[in-house]
Structure 1
């Protein structure tokens, strides 16, 4: 079976473009042109510099059928999480669907005259799919069709982000055995905290579990959600944060840290703050090691 070889530079550039495209759309649709034009030129300059960076020798290889199975697994994972609106969606989708629908139907920036308020939220992950849905709405004047097609593009955008995350994981771990790629896939989808232990310590019984239905709620006020919980409930923040975190781990120098955080702020504000702290900590640690 023919193998596909993908170098890190290509994955890195694709991941940066994935994070940057919502920012470009935000500037185009939400910001005045005297600010938008220089901002887009600046982003373009950064992407150009990324392409001109010294070649990274890291790469990964996949048999075509292996990569196909991986993609199918991510499609199924996203489908079960409600992406595309084709399967059960958790209750958090109610407000997320409302935000997405407003981004499709109303002019950008979204303004509600009856309440004299603006749509203020971390909307980055929705913008590419909302833009496609808006085009369909303009051409057809059919809100239902625009929302349905927009949902399919949103699912595609989500799956692309998951795939970039996985590829960046493979680059970072550099598994020597082909079987390890399957293990990484399983761990990625199934990764979670040790909430079962917390439930045991809190003396949860079957009745308690059926009442709460969330193992991570054993600790009031805090939780460490599984990757699947994040995808099913807060995908709009989780996916960009996953991609940004793996880019951070793969970066050999801090020169792109600011760009990563800048792109992440619009989609995942809280994760961006946490990631920025980790970046600062790593930078300080690298300085200390360099001095010694």
Structure 2
């Protein structure tokens, strides 16, 4: 893969292709998949013919000069992800409970996932934001739960690396600084937590997030989003980072609707 941009497009499109063949009739899935694959081919071809001068920040994820900053970027991003609980390698907050169930059912049951119990009435289908799990769940079908979680961790790490890389390009800074910005950017919710204490602990032990003091008006930080709603957050961040990254380039812009189309599926 020559470009982080190309890899980002594939990252966003793969779950939808899997969804087509897992949830949609083949008479519909095959034509739609062919249309999408043709569109992807055009986008990737257009991206690969675009060149950047040395005066611009290089787009390729794999031609970054390996330096101490690059190593720190990789380690910091992996550590951030590790502490989120994704993959089950660290403490998981209670929002992971049903996300683990969704992931397990995508692994163990045929797609589309349905539930049929005589005492509960008609057949019911799993309806949720399942796209982010599909690549890992597909691997899980021929492996086991431990490998499935490792695949999910790896998929999430790839997404975060792409996000921070695009963000670094947009801000004209290093990937390490972009990762630090993403991790630390937040409001002063610690003050709200101290001034408006809840009946349950919000600081220690860290079983919930600081923004709960604001009720429905909370504005979750990026770290909170990763720790609680990663399956929705990472694709959204990637789309926004790609759009921002493209807008600062006068030589290459894909229509914004292309990204919105891929993400909305």
Q: TM-score normalised by the shorter chain: which range applies?
A: 0.7 to 0.9
Alignment-derived partner of residue 61 in structure 2: none
Number of aligned positions between the proteins:
242
Distance (Å, rounded) in 2 between the aligned partners of 1:109 and 1:251: 36
Query: Corresponding residue for 2:169?
Result: 171
The two structures have a TM-score, normalised by structure 1, of 0.76
Gaps of 5+ in 2: 59-63, 204-208
> Would you say the 8 A contact 1:195–1:216 is kept in 2?
yes
1:120 corresponding residue in structure 2: 127
Query: Equivalents in 1 of 2:145, 2:126: separation in Å?
Result: 18
Q: Partners of 2:164 and 2:254 in 1: how far apart?
A: 23
The answer as to 2:42 corresponding to 1:43 is no
Which digits, 9 at most, give the CA deviation of each residue in 1:231-269, with x for residues without a partner? 111110111111011111123487543332233234xxx
In structure 1, C-alpha distance between the alignment counterparts of 2:149 and 2:255, rounded to whole Å = 32
The answer on 1:156 being equivalent to 2:139 is no
Q: State the Cα distance separating 1:217 from its structure 2 match.
A: 2.1
**TM alignment of 1:33-72, pairs within 5 A:** 33-53=26-46, 54-57=49-52, 58-60=56-58, 61-72=64-75
Whether the 8 Å contact between 1:209 and 1:215 is mirrored in structure 2 is: no
Following superposition, the deviation at residue 215 of structure 1 comes to 2.6
Aligned to 2:244: 249
Q: Which residue of 1 aligns with 2:186?
A: 192
Q: For residues 1-292 of structure 1, what are the structure 2 equivalents within 5 Å?
A: 10-53=3-46, 54-57=49-52, 58-60=56-58, 61-114=64-117, 115=120, 116-136=123-143, 146-175=144-173, 181-196=175-190, 198-199=192-193, 203-204=195-196, 208=198, 211-213=201-203, 214-252=209-247, 255-266=254-265
Change in Cα spacing, 1:80 to 1:254, as seen in structure 2 (3 Å) is same
Structure with higher helix content: 1
Shift of 1:125: 0.5
Q: Deviations over 1:129-182 (max 9, x none)?
A: 00000122xxxxxxxxx122111100000000000001101111123xxxx544
2:193–2:202 CA contact under 8 A, matched in 1:
no
Q: Is the 8 A contact 1:217 1:223 kept in 2?
A: yes
Q: Label 1:34 to 1:170 Cα distance change in 2 as closer, same or farther (>3 A).
A: same
SS at 2:128 equivalent: coil
After superposition, the C-alpha distances for 1:41-60 in whole angstroms (9 at most, x for unaligned) are: 11111121112325142433
| CA distance, structure 2, for counterparts of residue 194 and residue 150 of structure 1 | 36
- Partners of 1:102 and 1:248 in 2: how far apart? 34
Question: Aligned-pair distance for 1:127?
Answer: 0.3
The CA distance in 2 between the partners of 1:64 and 1:33, in whole Å, is 48
Distance 1:261 1:80 in 2: 30
Describe the shift of the 1:256–1:35 C-alpha distance in structure 2 as closer, same or farther (beyond 3 A): farther
Residues 69 and 254 from structure 1, CA distance in 2 versus in 1: closer, same or farther, beyond 3 angstroms? closer
